[in-house]
Amino acid sequence: MASREIINRCIQIFANKQISFLRAEKIMIESTRSSSYYGSKPLGPPEMYTGVEVSKLPEEWKYVERLLPKTKVPIPVPKQEYPSRWVPSRDGAVKMPYFVERTRNHMFPLYVNESHRGRSRTTVVKKVQGNIWLFQEELKKYLEERSGKHMFLRVHEVCQHVYIKGDNGSMVEEWLLEKGF
């Protein structure tokens, strides 16, 4: 109850002389919050506030279904060339001793992580299956030839990740495309 209601109730009790003034000190007032959903009183039937009409007609429901998000990413339609320069994986990539599985959006699992407020960058290749050590050797050889610098690679075999020091995302992506992943 609100504090004003409590005071009015106490005045009514004293006015009706239901208790004596000597026992008035022992009256305990419990304050309750009336802001919770479950504690509040209903103000009226829900039909009074909502203008919703329930429809189960299929011809009306088809307009709602196209607005709902898709539960799966659709399989891309095969084309010669895509406007986004996306390339599907080739069939020969499965026969290699290692394989890089694409994400559910059909993209490479290739990420560049920044740390130390942007001063340090690490490129991460995830979902490397098969012989991850051969994958690391061949990738290191390609990156060293391409950049002309010594590259530092680290393998996390349990998580199937390969970490490369520096921002080498574009070179790794080119190499993955050459291999047909």
Domain ranges within the chain, ordered by starting residue: 1-41, 91-179
Instruction: Confirm or reject CATH 3.40.1190.20 for domain 91-179, answering yes or no.
Output: no
- Predicted local confidence at residue 152, as pLDDT: 96
Q: Which of 126, 111, 177, 122 is nearest to 156 (CA)?
A: 126
More reliable by pLDDT, 28 or 164: 164
Q: What angle do CA 106, 110, 115 make, to 5 degrees?
A: 145
Provide the pLDDT for residue 124. Answer: 98
What confidence tier does 177 reach under pLDDT thresholds 50, 70, 90? very high
pLDDT tens digit sequence for 65-120 = 888 888 888 888 888 888 988 899 888 788 899 999 999 889 999 999 999 888 99
C-alpha R_g of the chain: 34
Buried b (16+ CB within 10 A) or exposed e, 131-164: ebeebbebbbebbeeeeeeebebebeeeebbbeb
Q: Of the candidates 116, 160, 104, which has an alpha carbon nearest to the alpha carbon of residue 136?
A: 160
Beta carbons of 168 and 125 less than 8 angstroms apart: no
pTM equals 0.62
Q: What is the rounded average pLDDT of the residues 47-71?
A: 79
30-42 pLDDT tens trace = 445 556 666 667 6
